[in-house]
Structure 1
Amino acid sequence: MPAKDPLIETLKVCILNLKSAGTITDSNPHLTSCCELLELILRKGLQQPVLSLAHRDYWNCFEQLLHHDTCGRLSSVSLAVQQTTACSKLITSQGRGRFFIRLMLMRRTLGNVLKHLLHTNRVIEWYCPNVAILRNEEFVEPFLSLSMVLSEMNFKINIENCSFLDESWLLPVRQIYEAVPCRELGMALRYLDGRVFVLDLLQGSQAQVDMFAEPGDIIDEMNGISLRNASNGQAGVVLSKLKGQPLSIHLIRWRGEDGSIYQPLVKHLRQLKQEKPSLQFGPKPVSQQDKTSGQKRGQTQCVKDGRILYGVHLLGKANIGMHGDKEVLQHAIPVVLQSSQARKVYLQLSKKCCWM
């Protein structure tokens, strides 16, 4: 029986789950797992330099391909490496490696880039032959086959949402606000770890009237100018240069997709709250209107074993006999309506029914 590597076997299952979705977006629950597995495989067996204090990561292997590109500087590999290197929102090798993986998936070039890596001896020698999947003849072929399958799939992911790849594969909610020319937006800002946080909205300002941001959100960029790794006052300098121009502000929300706190921001929000105790960071309150609309959409649904299950309310009951067919429902429904004083009864039948 041929040997199997658990990372490759898990990646195979993950790819099958991805293929069932058709077009793959950032909301796909299996995308992050797929990227994490690719990262683990690319790191496995990567040796650290002996006479250097710098830590080597898999991005450094891809970065070297630019210097060993025999196809010319305009090849797809070189262009992807150059785009990753030029991205000002990435600071660490980990962040650049993760950006590069996402870029390869979106451009369908993962298989070709890995082949290029395997044929670059000066780089592949950085991997330990006894540990690395990339140096194991039994494992490298299945891995290449899986990478070619990924290269044939349709990924539509947001490459610009990359400011937190240095810290996490979990992506934040990122939104764009278009503002008309104005003298000032009316936001009090706080600079933490090279990021521009919204601390407060000034009363009567455009920001307070439009409510396009809330305390705890991050200004990621303005009119294409990145504010990642910004120094104190840099956002004001950028805004003054754009005075009188329409503004396109890219915001990172402190709330995640599910309304809870975006986990990589927990320590920053805690620091903001220490400076301004009145700030509240927690689950978004649900209004009565949201509750009603949520019930109409079936908010009580859950997913179990690939099936959508719904919570239901018992309005009443009526005896339809032991051998009744669906036709008897037209007689039973009025009985239930009269007994429960309900105005409507909604019923959906399928070919397969399960009675519990």
Structure 2
Amino acid sequence: MPIQHQSMLCIGVRLYTHIHADVSAIPPYGNAHLCLSYLCKYIPPCVHKPTCHERVQVRRCVQPRIGVTGARTPPVLVAELCWVAPELGASPLGQTGCRRCPVPPGCVATRPGLMAGKEPLLSALRGEVLQLREDGGPCTDTSPHLAAVCQLLESVLRKGLRQPVWGFRRRDYWHCLEQLPQGDGGRPNPLSLSIQRAATCSKALTAQGRGRCFLRSALQGKVLAAALRQLAHSPRLLEFYDPASSILGNEVLLEPFLSLVLVVTEMDFSLDLQNCSFLDESWLLPVCITYETVPCRVLGMVIRYVDGRVFVTEVLPESQAEVDKVVLAGDVLDEINGCSLRNASSGQAGAMVQKLKGQPLSFRVLRWRWHDGEVYEPLLPYLKVLKEKEPRFQLQRRPRRRAERETRKVQGGRLLYNLRYLGRSGVGTFGGKEVLEWAIPTVLEQHSAPREVLFDVKETEILVQEKASSKVLFRYVYPEVSCVGRRRESSHLFAFCVVSSPESPEGNTFDCLVFASGSEQECEEIIKRIGKGTLYFFRYNYSKMWSTKNCYSMPPHARSNNCFC
């Protein structure tokens, strides 16, 4: 029968005594009331017996009695009775009395906090359990004291854990829990289901992660007390734990610990057991949301793989992902239609989306921002690596507003592109398309402050104005443009080369100008329009023109070929 938890955590006094009873006459152990009434008959008269207001915990062990000649006699029950007397005062150990009758020397009385006070871990656990109970209501992942309780439980399970002499695998408490008996008579029970769920979790890659998955599942299923009591009574306990330094192997400290676990087990928990991708690293769990979208050709999420995790680095403007206003740059894709992306290989997420093409998609997304509004701490090492791979990557704090998604502006009856001018760099005396491969990274390495500009592709020229003041920054007629294109690695960036010094004695020199657009589609559109404009200009203004594949000739003074990628 369970112990009265309120008394244990308040002013109750725990009473212990040992009895010997005839096993053959005891009722079935499953009937706790009959068993208790029978066992109470064997309590010595000098011992304060439990009343109807007190709950009793019976720890029994059947041992055969060996005669002098070696012949076996009928077994007896050696039982330890433990109960809480809530009306007992707080007298010194062994002298505590009851208002109705004293506690005789045959019974040992202890206050519940006395033994716990000798062990710092139990004292800290008791305080966190009390605070967790005071929160009220079902305990969720957002409960402020949940992580602390789980971490202290883990510390207790690791205290005094023996390490194997041979072998390279370091033993953790999960290696002990996974060896507990699975089910009764071949039938699974809630405890075995919790162990199996943790053992088969694809998101937990280490023993630490699986152990934490089990603790959360056991709290949810109210089987943690049963699991730890079964572990404490396991024949292999001394193989796992050192009695001198552990809590589970110490009989004096074990009972206060199990009593606190019983209190935690009786609480109601409502945990998201699927949110376990970061349990290998921390007890702090990220904010997890579900993103469901309709079938579409392109979602519009640019992703990058970092150490087995799938990060969203950009949400393309006017895409389905931006319209839904759910996913932000910096979030982690955890699942696609129930399939885990933990430890994903490069291209795995894209292959899964292609396989599910034409079907509704359901994503589990882990937010980069935690409950306090700051960056989720376990993500910091990943974001550092991501920043090194993508220097222009920025965390997105909120979905773009309608005004921010506007990619064009009407001016004088014309549609202008809203772009960012990133800078320019000299490329020498050759302005062909080959220079774009190294000229664009050269401009990006300058780390110049981007400028918001209005980009206009006219019939005879390219006009670039400052967005804030409408001041003309550049104006180039098509004969001055030697090439235009972009790199495959940077789909939203494009550049074109222009003649910078046509009258130089050494020959013509060229500059490369780099711009950033809002989407890959817009970038392709601008490149095609510049290419067509140059081609039409030459067709109607020059009588001699020759062309090759993706290469259009310039007037003689340009000394280079117009190239459009």
Q: Secondary structure at the match of 1:135?
A: coil
Q: Secondary structure at the match of 2:305?
A: strand
**1:30 corresponds to 2:149:** no
CA contact (8 A) 2:330 2:396 kept: no
Instruction: Output the CA distance in 2 between the equivalents of 1:107 and 1:132.
Output: 26
> Residue 252 of structure 2: which of 131, 138, 153 is its match?
138
> Gapped runs of 5+ residues in structure 2?
1-92, 94-113, 402-565
Instruction: Output the CA distance in 2 between the equivalents of 1:248 and 1:283.
Output: 22
Matched with 1:129 is 243
* Identical counterparts, % of pairs: 51
For 2:246, the aligned partner's letter is: A
Matched with 1:226 is 340
Matched with 1:265 is 379
Count of aligned pairs between the two proteins: 285
Matched with 1:198 is 312
Post-superposition Cα deviations, 1:55-104, rounded to whole Å, max 9, x if no partner, equal: 1100111111146x665350222111111111111100001111111111
**1:95 corresponds to 2:209:** yes
For 1:243, the aligned partner's letter is: K
Instruction: Output the CA distance in 1 between the equivalents of 2:334 and 2:237.
Output: 35
Instruction: Output the CA distance in 2 between the equivalents of 1:14 and 1:50.
Output: 35
Post-superposition Cα deviations, 1:304-338, rounded to whole Å, max 9, x if no partner, equal: xxxxxxxxxxxxxxxxxxxxxxxxxxxxxxxxxxx
Post-superposition Cα deviations, 1:14-57, rounded to whole Å, max 9, x if no partner, equal: 11111112221111111111000000000000011111100110
Instruction: Output the CA distance in 2 between the equivalents of 1:86 and 1:164.
Output: 16
Tell me which protein shows more helix as a share of its residues.
1
> Residue 234 of structure 2: which of 98, 117, 120 is its match?
120
**1:60 corresponds to 2:175:** yes
For 1:156, the aligned partner's letter is: S
CA contact (8 A) 1:259 1:283 kept: no
Deviation at 1:247, TM superposition (A): 1.0
Matched with 1:151 is 265
Post-superposition Cα deviations, 1:186-233, rounded to whole Å, max 9, x if no partner, equal: 211111111111112233321133232122111000111111111111
CA 1:215 to 1:282, structure 2 compared with 1: closer, same or farther past 3 Å? closer
CA contact (8 A) 1:47 1:127 kept: yes
CA contact (8 A) 1:261 1:282 kept: no
> Residue 297 of structure 2: which of 177, 183, 187 is its match?
183
Q: Secondary structure at the match of 2:142?
A: coil
Matched with 1:108 is 222
For 1:39, the aligned partner's letter is: E
CA contact (8 A) 1:14 1:30 kept: yes
CA contact (8 A) 1:66 1:73 kept: no
CA contact (8 A) 1:185 1:206 kept: yes
Q: Secondary structure at the match of 1:65?
A: coil
For 2:140, the aligned partner's letter is: T
**1:44 corresponds to 2:168:** no
For 1:122, the aligned partner's letter is: R
For 1:227, the aligned partner's letter is: L
Instruction: Output the CA distance in 1 between the equivalents of 2:312 and 2:397.
Output: 18
Matched with 2:287 is 173
Post-superposition Cα deviations, 1:275-306, rounded to whole Å, max 9, x if no partner, equal: 22333349879x9xxxxxxxxxxxxxxxxxxx
CA 1:30 to 1:118, structure 2 compared with 1: closer, same or farther past 3 Å? same
Instruction: Output the CA distance in 2 between the equivalents of 1:73 and 1:94.
Output: 27
CA 1:282 to 1:232, structure 2 compared with 1: closer, same or farther past 3 Å? closer
CA contact (8 A) 1:260 1:283 kept: no
Post-superposition Cα deviations, 1:240-271, rounded to whole Å, max 9, x if no partner, equal: 12111111111001111111111111111122
Matched with 1:164 is 278
CA 1:175 to 1:57, structure 2 compared with 1: closer, same or farther past 3 Å? same
Instruction: Output the CA distance in 2 between the equivalents of 1:126 and 1:13.
Output: 28
Instruction: Output the CA distance in 1 between the equivalents of 2:202 and 2:228.
Output: 25
Instruction: Output the CA distance in 2 between the equivalents of 1:193 and 1:209.
Output: 29
> Residue 126 of structure 2: which of 4, 8, 12 is its match?
12
Matched with 2:197 is 83
Instruction: Output the CA distance in 2 between the equivalents of 1:119 and 1:71.
Output: 19
CA contact (8 A) 1:180 1:246 kept: yes
For 2:262, the aligned partner's letter is: M
Instruction: Output the CA distance in 2 between the equivalents of 1:123 and 1:264.
Output: 34
Q: Secondary structure at the match of 1:125?
A: helix
Instruction: Output the CA distance in 2 between the equivalents of 1:227 and 1:249.
Output: 10
> Normalising by structure 2, what TM-score?
0.49
Q: Secondary structure at the match of 1:113?
A: helix
Task: Kindly report the root-mean-square deviation, in angstroms, between the aligned alpha carbons of the 2 structures.
Answer: 2.0
Post-superposition Cα deviations, 1:156-176, rounded to whole Å, max 9, x if no partner, equal: 111111100000001101111
> Normalising by structure 1, what TM-score?
0.76
Greater relative contact order: 1 or 2 (C-alpha under 8 angstroms, separation 6 or more)?
1
CA contact (8 A) 2:306 2:385 kept: no
Aligned pairs (5 A) from 1:238-317: 238-281=352-395
> Gapped runs of 5+ residues in structure 1?
288-356
CA contact (8 A) 2:328 2:397 kept: no
Q: Secondary structure at the match of 2:291?
A: strand
Q: Secondary structure at the match of 2:217?
A: helix
For 2:161, the aligned partner's letter is: L
Deviation at 1:273, TM superposition (A): 1.9
Q: Secondary structure at the match of 1:64?
A: coil
Post-superposition Cα deviations, 1:98-152, rounded to whole Å, max 9, x if no partner, equal: 1111111111111111111112212452101100100111100011111111111
CA contact (8 A) 1:261 1:283 kept: no
Instruction: Output the CA distance in 1 between the equivalents of 2:196 and 2:241.
Output: 23
